[in-house]
A and B are shown apart, each in its own frame.
Chain A
Amino acid sequence: MKIAVLSGKGGTGKTTVSNNLAINIKNTILIDTDVEEPNSHIFLKPDIEKIDSVFIGYPEVDMNKCNLCGKCGEFCRFNAIIPAKNSVVVFNESCHDCGGCAMVCPTNAITYKQREIGKIYSGKTKYDIDMKYGEINIGEMSGVRIIEEVKEKIKNEEIVIIDSPPGTACSTVAAVEGVDYAILVSEPTPFGVSDMKMVVEMLREMNIPFGLVINKAKLGDDEIYEYANNENIEILAEIPFNKEIAKLYANGELFSIHLKEYKEIFENIYSQILSKL
């Protein structure tokens, strides 16, 4: 079973929720697909046992074969390959490795080379669960390939918690694709609510059942409750704003380990999800 944890923007407590949830469910694996800024490993502190590189292809043109017909450039919707006067310009970082330009090239002038765009780290956490996280190399534009590869490394029988990238970008869609349930984490502030609406639309579009976890509850106003009520969105849990939680977070600790009364919140979230699937 796969459960994605999402948020409208960064810093709403998505990692807190996904990590605390993961350590309170037996036999889980947590994957952090926020490849631009993975931070679950800061809390879960895994011993990394394996590092895999993620590669992506890009075209290389043999100018002895190329007749500058222009077909590759017309095909590429990312403008990653542009036939010019005496050469064909290739922008490696823009290439999505779709393979199309080689297919349309009439002279077989195009072959693909591979380059590394990021890495996947796998290890055992000190909480007795496994985790994997992807990290994109600096300067790379799209982490979608890394996210897809992290997900491919997951076995079917595992219970997987997916810490997803914030917002509704391509990378978020890639992280959420194919999950059984999504947990949307939001703060009860006006900004939190407006960012969250976009995610709600995305999840509905993708036909993924979801529920809401309100972090730092009671800190803001009631808009989030009204919104959830009007939209028929179930509130799975509320995590209160609490100095002790904040302090543990700042120290890179997971609060449900230290504050046993919160353990129940996460066990509850999980049993509510199970009852719906």
Chain B
Amino acid sequence: MKIAVSAKEVGLNGKIDDRFGRAEYYVIFDTETKEVKTVENSAKNESAGAGGKAVKVLGDENVNIILAPEVGPKAITALKAFEIEAYLYAGMGLNTVEDAINAFNEGKLIKANNATVEEHSGLRKA
């Protein structure tokens, strides 16, 4: 099983990101091989629809689960289509990618069934 974490920095010790669609990186942890891989989020600078495109980045990496702060409505739709589950860590005071994975393993993260943020909330104000 592959778990991806929305991250600001590379690797397991990297800081988690407080955005999903516009996160810098996704750190992907393979629970079987214990391999860690960091992919850059090529969707982060999209002018529109970053959330959906980011999900595609994860889908292409065959990710099964994403740990993210919050997710928007488009991302939820896309996650379902890619058969990826999302678990949320917003407001939990977590710091690194490893923290997030541990919290997930301990069953502390809540599964996202619906959008937890409004559309466009990840956009920087011009």
CB distance from A178 to the nearest CB of B (A): 25
**CB–CB B49/A84 < 8 A:** no
**CB–CB B83/A89 < 8 A:** no
**CB–CB B81/A82 < 8 A:** yes
Tell me if B46 is interfacial: C-beta within 8 Å of chain A.
yes
Q: For residue A73, which residue of chain B has the nearest CB? A: B56
Q: For residue A78, which residue of chain B has the nearest CB? A: B48
| Partner pick for B53 among A82, A86, A87, CB 8 A cutoff | A82
**CB–CB A79/B49 < 8 A:** yes
How far is it, in angstroms, between the C-alpha of A88 and the C-alpha of B74 when the chains are bound? Answer: 13
Main secondary structure of the interface of B (DSSP, over half): helix
**CB–CB B78/A82 < 8 A:** yes
Q: For residue A94, which residue of chain B has the nearest CB? A: B49
Q: Please, which residues of chain B bring their CB within 8 A of the CB of A89?
A: 52, 77-78, 81
How far is it, in angstroms, between the C-alpha of A87 and the C-alpha of B83 when the chains are bound? Answer: 11
Task: Give the interface centre of A78, A82, A85, A94 by most chain B CB atoms within 10 Å.
Answer: A82
Within 8 A of B (CB), among A71-130: 73, 77-80, 82, 84-89, 91, 94
Q: Please, which residues of chain A bring their CB within 8 A of the CB of B50?
A: 79
**CB–CB A91/B52 < 8 A:** yes
**CB–CB A87/B81 < 8 A:** yes
How far is it, in angstroms, between the C-alpha of A84 and the C-alpha of B50 when the chains are bound? Answer: 15
How far is it, in angstroms, between the C-alpha of A78 and the C-alpha of B43 when the chains are bound? Answer: 11
Q: A79-B52, A85-B59, A85-B83 are in contact. Are A91 and B77 (CB under 8 A)?
A: yes
Task: Give the interface centre of B46, B50, B82 by most chain A CB atoms within 10 Å.
Answer: B82
Within 8 A of A (CB), among B24-77: 43, 46-50, 52-53, 55-56, 59, 74, 77
| Partner pick for B49 among A85, A87, A88, A91, CB 8 A cutoff | A91
CB distance from B86 to the nearest CB of A (A): 15
Give chain A's interface residues, CB within 8 Å of chain B: 73, 77-80, 82, 84-89, 91, 94
Q: Can you identify 11 A-B contacts, CB atoms within 8 angstroms?
A: A78-B49, A79-B50, A84-B59, A84-B81, A85-B83, A89-B77, A89-B78, A89-B81, A94-B48, A94-B49, A94-B74
